[in-house]
């Protein structure tokens, strides 16, 4: 029974807070921060993938140019 009363109190308090314009400004700022963090993470992943592609390109160039590269099993 207590948990139902607690839920009702929480819902009432949340509704009251949602009437405050500052609540929505803070909420919007938190969403923007989360999106920025997600964007920054994606940028880092893309940069790492680009480095992997460039590294693979260098290995292919070494193999096609006839340079021995025994570290990866190419001779």
The total number of structural domains in the chain stands at 1
Structure-token pair, residue 21: 């314009």
Residues 6 or more apart whose Cβ sits within 8 Å of residue 23: 17
- The SS3 of residue 1 is coil
Q: Is the pLDDT of residue 68 over 70?
A: no
pLDDT tens digit sequence for 3-58:
899 999 999 999 999 999 999 999 999 999 999 999 999 999 999 999 999 888 88
Q: Print the domain residue range for 40.
A: 2-72
Cα separation, 57 vs 51, whole angstroms: 10
């Amino acid at each position: 029974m207590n948990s139902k009363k607690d839920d009702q109190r929480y819902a009432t308090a949340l509704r009251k807070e949602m009437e405050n314009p500052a609540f929505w400004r803070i909420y919007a700022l938190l969403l923007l921060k989360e999106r920025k963090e997600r964007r920054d993470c994606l940028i880092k992943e893309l940069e790492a993938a680009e480095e992997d592609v460039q590294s693979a390109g260098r290995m292919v160039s070494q193999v096609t140019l006839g340079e021995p590269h025994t570290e990866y099993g190419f001779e």
